[in-house]
Amino acid sequence: MGINLNPFTWWNGASWGTVLYGLRGKTKVGEDELGNVYWEGGKDTAGRVRRWVIYSGANDASRVPPEWFAWLMHQIDDTPDRALPPRRQWQKPAVPNLTGTSLAYRPPGALEKGGHRAAATGDYEAWTPDA
């Protein structure tokens, strides 16, 4: 895409207009481990403080970790590092939606895995319109 499309495209990250004009007078409240930056300022139509995220990279909502999603949706009042307990040792980090990538789940029999599935066990009977 390059630098020439940045002023006009929003799907590859924040456009220059958002960064220069949209964030004027707003407060940066934090950043997650993926590099997404979280902001708040102004009021929404319900009178609550408006909150939003500027993505690091492609705009994909599945790249927002659960704790920051809770903050964005006003489920917690303070930022996740202050409002939530620390992550437990056994908890795995959040993973974005991998559909359409080489890391996506492909079940046995998928075309990407050769297209061969295990033989049926005999309890399957195909439907026919004459039956």
Specify whether the CB–CB gap between 68 and 80 falls below 8 A: yes
Q: Which residue has the tokens 């481990």?
A: 33
Mean pLDDT of 73-99: 91
* 100 assigned to some structural domain: yes
- What phi and psi, each to the nearest 5 degrees, are found at residue 72? -60, -35
In the chain, the number of structural domains is 1
- The answer to the question of residue 129 being in a domain is no
Q: Find the mean pLDDT for residues 12-41.
A: 76
In-domain check, residue 9: no
Give yes or no for a contact between 112 and 104, defined as CB atoms under 8 angstroms apart: no
Please give the C-alpha separations between residue 54 and each of 11, 42, 112, 121, in angstroms, as whole numbers.
11, 16, 34, 51
Give percent of the chain with pLDDT exceeding 70: 81
What pTM did the predictor assign? 0.68
| Residue 131 belongs to a domain | no
In a domain, 59, yes or no: yes
Domain interval for residue 85: 16-113
In a domain, 123, yes or no: no
Across 36-40, 87-91, 127-131, least confident range = 127-131
